[in-house]
Structure formats: C-alpha cells, structure tokens
Amino acid sequence: MLLAEHGLDESGLYVGNDPLQIERAGVYFTQVDSNGPTKYVPRSVQIDLEAGVCNHIRAGSLGKLFRPDTFFTGESGAGNNWAKGCKLHHYSPFPSCWLTLDIGGRLYRRWAELIDSILDIVRRQSESCEALQGFQIIHSLGGGTGAGLGSLLLSKLREEYPDRMLQTFSILPSPNVSETVVEPYNALLSIHQLVDNCDLTICIDNEALYDIAVRTLKISTPSFDDLNEVRMSYLATNLFCDLRKLGMNLIPFPRLHFLMPSYGPFYDPKARAFQKISVPELTSSLFDRRSLLVACDPRFGRYLTAACIFRGKVSSIEAETSVAQLQRKNSNLFVE
C-alpha cells in the first residue's frame, strides 16, 4: 500500500503519472540515482532471530525492493521465549519480584554482538535522513523475537536517540489465533518496556481483527494473511502522521501513551458495490466498537483524546462539522 501511495512498483521504480505521488517519497524512501532509472529504496530494517521469514521476503516479489544489508537474522531463533529474545537480567513488572536468568557469559557476549549489529544497521539508515523525527517499530508481543528482542531494541534506541520519537505498532496476542501457550506471558513482560521507553504505542489486537474478518468481511476461518490485510488497511493511513503532533495532541500523560486505533469503513466484499457512505456516517463508524482494532467496548469508558484522519476527497469543513456534531451528541463519552 505504501508503494501504491507513491506510484512505485515492487522493485522501487516510479511508474505513476502524478508528480504529487513522488513529492514526499523521501519520508520513507531513499532516492538512489544510478546509471539506469531512479530507484526508491525503503528506509527500513528487517529483523528476525530465525532466517525463515527474511528468506521468504528475499525470495518473494518484494525481494528486489529492500537493500540486502538491511536484513538481520539470527541462527537459532528465540523459541517463543521473551527472556531468550531480550537480555540476561531484567526487572519483572510485578512488585517485589525479579526475573533472573542463569546464562553464561558466552551467551551474553553473543546477544551484545547481535544488538550492536542491529544498531549499526539502524545508524546507517538514520544517517541518510535529512531530519530524523523518530522510529516506527512494527512487532508482535506474542513471540520471543517481537516481544523480547523488540523490548531490548526499544531500550537501546532510547539510549542512542533520547530526543527522537519512538512509536510502536504492537500486535497483541489472541486465543482465537494463538499458536503457543506462552503468548500472554511474552506480552505481559513487554508491556513494562513499552511503558518506560516508548512515546506512542498503537495497540492492535488479533482478537478484534479476527472478529472483523468473521463478522464484517464474512470470512469463516480467517488466516494470518486475512488478518494482515485488515491490519495493513489501518497502517497505510497511520504511517503518514506527524509523530510529534500526534504525541502532543493525544498523550495527556507521558506513561499513558497506549492508543486505541479504529478504521472505517469495513465492507463485506460482496456488498461493496451497493454501499455509499457519507462523511457523518464515516465519522460515526470510527467510534463504533465493531470498527476498533482492539477488543474492548468504549461504551464502558470515556475518551480522553481522539484524532480523526480522513483520506480521499473529503471537505475539511464537512469533516470538522461531522466531528463536532458527533462530540455534541455523545458528550457523555468524552472527558471535558
């Protein structure tokens, strides 16, 4: 979706016909001028402690898009173990409790070398930015790599870049699509690091994605590909936001930075051709619990802050009017 936004093909070459598409491509892409046509390379780092996923990307249709030196893989993997993916000694989020790992010095040196290699790749990528605003991390809290190594990487980025914004898109586990029994423990241990070292955390719940796929999209047995498609519909919209502006307007307190995303409209593919939605209806659907990407019911709480991002041919006056009307009609759901 990010490639389509800028009119790029799967190899990073511009194939669009609108100059506005390529105008802001430098936010996420590095322009490479060689002897042939101009190529746009994503400014990203792909990390996994086992080589299977990264090898799948290399061999797939997007294999020619990424720089080869931005892939980092381990040898043995984390084995769905948060402690193996993170570090040796760490505080537990529970009061008066320690998480102590009895691991030898050889493994300590190995993890130190791994995280240093990752930071070297990140440093090279960040040096190619004209004005680095921050980092966006997409990770899962259910596995050992996304939860454990993701927590360690988050703390190291905070040390290396203390004045930059850190935003995460954190995928929360769900029993409906769970593969291992330790996913809740990995998520719980990661929340502690997200509270301390992150500026913005977008919570995306697999359980909510599963319900959207079954009830709205009419998919009887959703696969991870189906959930990823729903997830990317939201990520494609949120990636273009100003991180500091979001943090300044949505975060009332530094530690209270866990945001609840919503996306609309979701359609049954068979009924898409018969649907027409207005701006007020679209705004109202954003605050419907069936459009939330986290499994919770906002009717039993209140909104401290909210931000509506519209894409497409929408009048700014009409959007502001719709939001103001919704806020007046549902004033009991908002904190004054």
Q: pLDDT value at position 169? A: 92
Q: pLDDT value at position 91? A: 40
CB neighbourhood size of 147 (10 A): 33
Q: What is the dihedral of CA 316, 317, 323, 325, to 10 degrees?
A: -170
Q: pLDDT value at position 88? A: 39
Burial class (CB in 10 A: 0-12, 13-18, 19+), 138: middle
**pLDDT value at 82 more than 80:** no
Euclidean distance between CA atoms 30 and 24, whole angstroms:
11
Q: pLDDT value at position 270? A: 76
Q: pLDDT value at position 202? A: 92
**pLDDT value at 168 more than 90:** yes
135-149 pLDDT, tens digit per residue, is 999 998 888 888 888
Average pLDDT, the chain: 82
Euclidean distance between CA atoms 128 and 125, whole angstroms:
6
Q: pLDDT value at position 85? A: 65
Split at pLDDT 50, 70, 90, the class of 103 is: very low
Q: pLDDT value at position 109? A: 46
- pTM of structure: 0.85
Euclidean distance between CA atoms 287 and 306, whole angstroms:
10
Tell me which residue of 276, 296, 309 sits closest to 211, measured CA to CA: 296
- Of the CA atoms within 13 Å of residue 136, those in its CB half-sphere come to 16
220-275 pLDDT, tens digit per residue, is 888 888 888 888 888 877 766 788 888 888 998 888 999 999 998 887 777 777 77
**pLDDT value at 101 more than 70:** no
Q: pLDDT value at position 5? A: 81
What are the b/e assignments for 17-45, b being 16+ CB within 10 Å?
eeeebbeebeebbbeeeeeeeebbbbbbb
